[in-house]
Structure 1
Amino acid sequence: MQYSFQRFKCSESNFTWFQEESAMARMMAGPMRTNMSDAYSHPSPGYSYSRNSSNISAYSHTDDEESAAVGSTPPRQASRFAPRPPSSPLLNRLSMKKNVDVSYATNKSEEQELELMKEKYSKLLLGEDMSGGGKGVCTAVAITNAITNLYATIFGTCHKLEPLPPEKKSMWRREMDCFLSVCDFILDPSPTEQTMPGGHGNEIMAAKPRMDIMMNLPALEKLENMLLDILDSFHGTEFWYADQKKQSFDNTNSNSFHRSEDKWWVPVPCLPGNGLPERARKELQQKRECANQIHKAAMAINNALLGEMDVPESYLTTLPKTGRQSVGDVIYRHMQTTEQFSADHVLNSLNISSEHEALEIADKVEAALYIWKRKVNVGHTKSTWDMSLVSDFMADGDKNTVLMSRAQSLLLALKHQFPSLSQTTLDTSKIQYNKDVGQAILESYSRVLESLAFNIVSWIDDVLLADDAAKKGN
């Protein structure tokens, strides 16, 4: 072991032994980090546990010279270059205060970040109820809101294909690591075989990571790294951006395309007069395909997680009595047809013109789906001695099963036709009333990655459209 102190040359071996013992005492008296603080502090060394000034001063009341040397060591600093403090207790306290002040001055930025993290974790523990009256939301909803707000803070103002600023990337990784570190302590007990010293086996309960976290969290972290790598690759590009409002006053010879009024806040990509070179366009298309695949993967994970969440009772109580009342006569007529059912044919006949209209239809179909599903479950649990009623229940159950299956097909086709469709009423209800912290972290993490991937695809499409317009103009 290499000790962090200077060995003084002395002819007496006892003095050398005393120095080694003093060094070991200094090492053992250093701040010890618990497992929980390790999990929350690994992104940045500034978040590790360190003894504060009040705790340090408690060691300065001893008259022993070497004990004073131990107490005067600044937090997380090597003592090999620190001067030996004087033996007077009063001077010891003054010397320690000076060292602590120097340490605080050098770690001012880290302390500010630590205070910010304390504030965030206080909000999580209080459930966003700063009065402390216990009226806040549950921990799962608080973490969901925190991850969503963090994404809005970091990526809400990003509308260009450019690397993420270092300070924003550092903030994103640091705070996301803190949120995701909660998953390290979500464990499931599972039986495992342990060999005893005598040679015989014994079954014990061992804690293992929960299956949904073990399967989804590494995949989501990989998708996040790929998205950030895509953004980092857009440096020194052959296109640039101009403000759409100022573009009409710009008399440059660059080519750009005019976006519709619904995205007036997004900057417009501009290209040279002859457009992008073939090599640059090919690389751009490859990045678009990669981001599109990431979007599909994140969306699939998010849909699977939402499907595993429990349906809130408050949502079920608001449903109509029949599925026909929910979807309306037009859609119900298509769904109960005796001919071969085609979800694409139904969507084409509805002539959906906007995503808002598509979301309304999705809410109605999803509500009807759970109405028919509930009737199927009720029909399976009913028992009666009247055989005629049994046959009626079987007929109704078969009909509801068919309608439920067709509603699922129609809902999937609708989401496939509108990939950027917002969350339905059922999805928002599941998130609002969810109390599983692990599911909350995975769902919000996959949702923000899905949104980021979709935005990157949209930004690349804007550049490709501008390139097409430039080449057509030539």
Structure 2
Amino acid sequence: MEHLSESDDTLADQNDQPSTETLVYSTMSTDSAPAYYRTNSDTSAFSETVDDSSYSSEPSPLHWPVVKCERQNNPILGRLGMKQHKHDINENYDDFECLDPELETMKERFAKLLLGEDMSGGGKGVCTAVTISNAITNLYATVYGQKLRLEPLNQEKKAMWKREMDYLLSVCDYMVDVSGSTQELQDGTSVQVMTSIPRSDIYVNLPALQKLDAMLLDILDSFQVTEFWYAEKGSMSSNSIGSGSFGRVAQLNEEKWWLPVPCVPPDGLSEESRMNLRHKRDCANQIHKAAMAINSNILAEMDIPDSYMASLPRNGRESLGDTIYHSMCTPEKFSPENLLDRLSITSEHEALDLANRVEASMYTWRRKSCISHSKSSWNMVKDFIADTERSDKNHTLAERAESLLFCLKQRYPELSQTSLDTWKIQYNQDVGQAILESYSRVLEGLAFNIVARIEDVLNADGA
């Protein structure tokens, strides 16, 4: 009875621990919030510190801790039952008791993934793809959300990032495509067999993303000894800045009020340090472009949700407005650059709103073009001329809207996700695509932030 009461107290204490909550992805500009512009989260439900030294040295295909127990044929006992049978287990019980807390932590995290954030188990949670996408997004926000300086990532967070990403990416080891092949037996008979091969998108993109991840960590680790330093805005008075005690100070925009101010010596950076910073900026910029390209390709391969198509306006003119519509309907050669110049977009919010409206009108015209071509043969004969003119017009407008959207994203590379991208992520059910999309998205954000922080230091050097 004493053992039972002690176990009940222990179980009650554990149940009193507060549980963390995960936030779904959000689109946010890096100039308006500390975290990455596509991520807004303060904590990760899949990001609790676990001591690496307590893991089992036995290799596991899923990289989960392995527990050894000689009573493998017995049913799995809960924590209460295990403590009641403490004296029935052999001398290896002490080792099991050391691993038990880690096992309970991993079981809790795995349960949250399977439940889809619906802790009641009532089936109201999101699908597995969205859950894993949220887990990667929130893990990034936990590790890199407050990374506002060019300095190495501390060892605890680096170990957390590598360990938990290894857990989440281990799912990809078991994603395969099955295809038929011919195999010859010893007697010369040919038989058809089914063989498993890795998914092509994961086989190509996942190693590339892991390489980009390692390169970004190496860039951060290279800022151990620097000629520049940071000072908080509140600690700098006008007299100290004017007297030169802070050296050269970068002039940051008021929108970046939360960022620490980079400072360099009064004589500026050395030529070697300046060239080194520019080289790292160029490398991070290339990584940003590579991650953006992978993310764009994955989003393009995702299915468009039916709910998004149902929410489209009846015509593209209603979505764009008369001014832009008349500019796109001109019989002359259409120039998206000239149209954007005439619109005079002054903020990222206006650019994102225009991107959403152009994208909606593009799919509206594409849908009308498909409907025109899908008519029955009798209707096609009856309305041949009218359908041809309407189809050509819708197809032309859709192509011009696509070119305008592409030019807009090129002019504003830090643009947040459009409404269609958000819908695709929310309703996507392909776990492989969810992992690749979220992984490339967070790496894209990390690379962009590194480039921006290096630019701030170079601006301070040129001040």
**Which residue matches 2:181?**
192
**Which residue matches 1:461?**
455
SS in 2 for 1:206: strand
Are 1:161 and 2:155 counterparts? Answer: no
**Which residue matches 1:254?**
247
Check conservation: 1:57, 1:93, Cα contact below 8 A.
no
1-structure distance, mates of 2:446, 2:246:
32
Are 1:39 and 2:39 counterparts? Answer: no
Are 1:405 and 2:399 counterparts? Answer: yes
Check conservation: 1:159, 1:266, Cα contact below 8 A.
yes
The AA in structure 1 aligned to 2:210 is E
Q: CA deviation at 1:259?
A: 1.4
**Which residue matches 2:162?**
173
**Which residue matches 2:274?**
281
**Which residue matches 1:224?**
213
Matches within 5 A, 1:15-164: 38-41=60-63, 47-51=64-68, 96-97=90-91, 99-101=92-94, 104-105=97-98, 112-164=101-153
SS in 2 for 1:223: helix
Q: CA deviation at 1:57?
A: 10
Of 334, 354, 358, 1:361 maps to: 354
Q: CA deviation at 1:101?
A: 2.5
Gapped regions of structure 2 (runs ≥ 5): 1-55, 76-85
1-structure distance, mates of 2:435, 2:88:
47
2-structure distance, mates of 1:233, 1:391:
67
1-structure distance, mates of 2:398, 2:302:
19
Gapped regions of structure 1 (runs ≥ 5): 1-30, 42-46, 59-91, 470-474
2-structure distance, mates of 1:338, 1:459:
46
Q: Deviations over 1:5-24 (max 9, x none)?
A: xxxxxxxxxxxxxxxxxxxx
Identity %: 54
Of 231, 234, 240, 2:229 maps to: 240
Q: CA deviation at 1:318?
A: 1.1
Could you say which structure has the greater relative contact order, defined with CA pairs below 8 angstroms and 6 or more residues apart?
Answer: 2
Q: CA deviation at 1:388?
A: 5.5
Q: Which has the higher helix share?
A: 1
Q: Deviations over 1:323-357 (max 9, x none)?
A: 00011111111111111111111111110001100
Instruction: Provide TM-score, normalisation by structure 2.
Output: 0.81
Identify which range, 334-343 or 353-362, moves more after superposition: 334-343
- Aligned Cα root-mean-square deviation (Å): 2.4
Are 1:445 and 2:439 counterparts? Answer: yes
Q: CA deviation at 1:113?
A: 4.4
SS in 1 for 2:376: coil
Of 313, 320, 341, 2:306 maps to: 313
Are 1:327 and 2:327 counterparts? Answer: no
Are 1:265 and 2:258 counterparts? Answer: yes
Instruction: Provide TM-score, normalisation by structure 1.
Output: 0.79
SS in 2 for 1:439: helix
Q: CA deviation at 1:155?
A: 0.2
Q: How many residues align?
A: 394
Based on CA coordinates, which of the two structures has the bigger radius of gyration?
A: 1
